[in-house]
């Protein structure tokens, strides 16, 4: 960033800066129970720590340490999301953490039921069964 630039809106500075690639943090190791123990968050949203855990696990599983959309035919590199703003279309590769078993069907909002997808793939799946 150049001097005098306006800082970008940061969605969750603790875990990632908006617009930057979701790269695995040096020293990250998956932690069971972080963001909720398996099956304990039926029908609930993910916590910020739970979302981070899902994205970091995804990134850790990639050869280059950059998280990618879970849909294998998409596989786009994901960037950290910005806070949504009226009239601003977010980039299509913003990371979204999706319930594998949908929230509306009682799927748990813990990282074991989470997957990272880009916006369009997440919307395509919606509350339906896993299409990939």
Q: Which spans of this chain sit near Zn ion (rule: CB under 5 A)?
A: 69, 71, 74, 118, 121
> Please, which residue, 71 or 112, has the CB nearer to Zn ion?
71
> Please, which residue, 24 or 95, has the CB nearer to Zn ion?
95
- Nearest distance from residue 82's CB to Zn ion, in Å? 18
- Nearest distance from residue 98's CB to Zn ion, in Å? 10
Tokens of 107: 């799927």
> Please, which residue, 23 or 115, has the CB nearer to Zn ion?
115
- Nearest distance from residue 55's CB to Zn ion, in Å? 14
Cα-Cα-Cα-Cα torsion 96, 100, 106, 110, nearest 10 degrees, comes to -70
Contact by Cβ (8 Å): 17, 7: no
User: Nearest-CA neighbor of 40 among 117, 122, 112?
Assistant: 112
Cβ-based burial of 91 (10 A; exposed 0-12, middle 13-18, buried ≥19): middle
Contact by Cβ (8 Å): 67, 78: yes
- Nearest distance from residue 26's CB to Zn ion, in Å? 26
> Please, which residue, 23 or 96, has the CB nearer to Zn ion?
96
């Amino acid at each position: 960033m150049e001097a005098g630039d306006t800082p970008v809106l940061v969605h969750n500075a603790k875990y990632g800066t908006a617009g930057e690639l979701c790269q695995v943090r040096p020293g990250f190791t998956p932690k069971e129970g972080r963001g909720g123990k398996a099956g304990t968050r039926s029908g609930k949203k993910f916590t910020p720590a739970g979302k981070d855990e899902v994205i970091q696990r995804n990134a850790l599983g990639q050869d280059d340490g950059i998280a990618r959309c879970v849909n294998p035919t998409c596989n786009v590199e994901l960037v950290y999301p910005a806070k949504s703003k009226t009239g601003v279309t977010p980039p299509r590769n913003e990371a979204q953490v999706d319930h594998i078993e949908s929230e509306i069907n009682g799927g748990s909002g813990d990282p074991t039921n989470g997957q990272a997808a880009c916006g369009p793939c997440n919307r395509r799946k919606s509350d339906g069964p896993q299409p990939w």
